[in-house]
């Protein structure tokens, strides 16, 4: 499928400000800011990363509001062209760095607005990842609520039936056979409750929130970093274009993400291995932090957009949403994922668990699913 997934969404007028000019810091200034960011990361107990379309541009996936973004070109009456598919795209340096930083306890949660699946395919733990707008490579069963991670993108968008059936095994060895839907949100669809709740919890206890490649125009995701500031934490924004949250940033970095994060990796003395194959990690080896007991109900809106604009929150041209749309809860995803691909060959595995169903179809696609500690589900090389 083309990386222009937005063409499959419902028509929507208010897509925010597109085509804002980009800015780049001088190399010496960039290096100084990257060093300060590395120091903040080392001194922080909880670090949350917020990622947007700018993270995946170096993988060949275009952004939306950049000078040559999909929606920017559409506003000009031009047709965007793409030379890559979601299946062909591979995780960028920054994707892979985040995996290594999570392993050593320097990143604790990632909140992404991207649907390209590169975080998950890079091996970032699923229970430390909130994909608020969905994932092109996952489908969810309407019957058992388990989620399948596949080697190909879903044929539908907007939480629609994909035409496929769930092959997760029940307690007596029978297949579930429930109908699968995609996980991609359309404009009016509600964000997944569990992932939004966990995102808010992490942001509230974080010492540091880092925004990577997002203009923060889509709400509620765009307001999540401010929860860290409100609770006394630091905010760093890395984006070539200006954002409405720039005044709240403790460090504002204008630069290409991979360039900035390579400097950060050097300061942190972290080496990043090259990408070899898609790796699905279900659980982090680190335990969850202690969250305070909530005293108030969540105030953030749960839907991504609306046909009617909320004038109070739209004064800064943020794209917001009304509440009350259907919920897209993902309560049973972790440790109950289904990893599936396309011609029915069962892989050799060196460990199996009760809640994991593995089916390998594509000979050149090999999944590794680390669970707790050193338990793994790995397809052996032929």
Please confirm whether the linkage preceding 105 is cis (ω < 30° from 0).
no
Q: Is the pLDDT of residue 339 over 90?
A: no
Of 174 and 284, the one with more pLDDT: 284
| Mean pLDDT for the stretch of residues 96-111 | 97
Instruction: Tell whether 233 is covered by a domain.
Output: yes
The full DSSP string for 349-378 is -S---TT-EEEB--TT---B---STT---B
At 92, the pLDDT band (50, 70, 90 cuts) reads: very high
Domain count for the chain = 1
357 domain-assigned = no
Would residue 163 count as lying in a domain?
yes
pLDDT digits (tens, 9 = 90+) for 195-237: 999 999 999 999 999 999 999 988 899 999 999 999 999 999 9
Could you give the CA distance from residue 132 to residue 194 in angstroms, rounded to a whole number? 10
Each residue's pLDDT tens digit, 106-165: 999 999 999 999 999 999 999 999 999 999 999 999 998 888 888 888 999 899 999 999
Asked if residue 358 has pLDDT above 70, the reply is: no
Query: Up-side HSE of residue 204: CA atoms within 13 Å toward CB?
Result: 16
pLDDT for the residue 236: 98
Whether residue 277 has pLDDT greater than 70 = yes
Tokens of 132: 């608020």
Is the residue at 101 inside a domain? yes
**Structural domain containing residue 117:** 5-285+298-335
Residue 222 sits in a domain of what CATH number? 3.40.50.1220
Cβ(177)–Cβ(165) under 8 Å? yes
In this prediction, residue 356 carries a pLDDT of: 32
Beta-carbon neighbour count of residue 378 at 10 Å? 17
- Domain membership of residue 351 (yes or no) is no
pTM of the shown model? 0.79
pLDDT digit string (tens) for 249-267?
Answer: 999 999 999 999 999 999 9
- Phi, psi at 35, each rounded to 5°: -65, -40
Mean pLDDT of 174-203: 91
Rounded mean pLDDT, 4-15: 64
**Mean per-residue pLDDT, 67-95:** 80
367, part of any domain: no
Average pLDDT for the chain: 77
Q: Is residue 291 included in any domain, yes or no?
A: no
Q: Distance between CA 46 and CA 182 in Å, rounded? A: 32
Known catalytic residue: 133? yes
Mean pLDDT value across residues 38-54: 96
* Domain assignment of residue 164, yes or no: yes
Given 50, 95, 119, 133, the catalytic residue: 133
pLDDT(99) > 80: yes
Looking at residue 84, what is its pLDDT? Answer: 85
pLDDT of residue 378: 31
């Amino acid at each position: 499928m083309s990386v222009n997934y937005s063409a499959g969404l419902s028509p929507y007028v208010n897509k925010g400000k597109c085509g804002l000019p980009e800015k780049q810091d001088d190399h010496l200034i960039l290096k100084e800011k990257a060093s300060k960011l590395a120091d903040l990361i080392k001194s922080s107990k909880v670090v949350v990363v917020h990622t947007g379309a700018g993270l995946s541009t170096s993988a060949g996936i275009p952004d939306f509001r950049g000078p040559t973004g999909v929606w920017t070109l559409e506003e000009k009456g031009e047709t965007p062209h793409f030379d890559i598919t979601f299946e062909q795209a591979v995780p960028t340096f920054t994707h892979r760095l985040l995996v290594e930083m999570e392993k050593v306890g320097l990143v604790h949660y990632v909140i992404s607005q991207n649907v390209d699946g590169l975080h998950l395919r890079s091996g970032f733990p699923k229970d430390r990842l909130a994909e608020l707008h969905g994932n092109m490579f996952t489908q969810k069963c309407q019957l058992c609520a388990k989620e399948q991670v596949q080697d190909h993108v879903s044929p539908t968008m907007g939480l629609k039936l994909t035409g496929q059936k769930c092959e997760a095994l029940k307690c007596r060895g029978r297949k579930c056979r429930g109908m699968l839907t995609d996980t991609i949100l359309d404009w009016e669809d509600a964000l997944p409750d569990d992932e939004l709740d966990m995102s808010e919890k992490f942001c509230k206890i974080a010492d540091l929130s880092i925004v990577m490649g997002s203009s923060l125009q889509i709400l509620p995701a765009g307001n999540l970093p401010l929860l860290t500031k409100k609770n006394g934490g630091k905010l760093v924004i890395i984006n070539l274009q200006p954002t409405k949250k720039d005044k709240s940033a403790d460090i504002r970095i204008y630069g290409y993400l991979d360039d900035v994060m390579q400097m950060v990796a050097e300061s942190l003395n972290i080496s990043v291995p090259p990408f070899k194959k898609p790796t699905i990690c279900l659980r982090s080896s680190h335990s969850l932090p202690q969250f305070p007991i909530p005293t108030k109900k969540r105030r953030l809106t749960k839907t991504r957009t609306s046909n009617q604009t909320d004038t109070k929150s739209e004064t800064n041209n943020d794209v917001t949403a009304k509440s009350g749309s259907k919920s897209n809860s993902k309560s049973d995803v972790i440790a109950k994922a289904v990893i599936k691909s396309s011609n029915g060959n069962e892989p050799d595995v060196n460990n199996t668990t009760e809640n994991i169903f593995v089916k390998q179809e594509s000979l050149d696609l090999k999944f590794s699913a680390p669970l707790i500690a050193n338990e793994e589900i790995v397809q052996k090389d032929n």
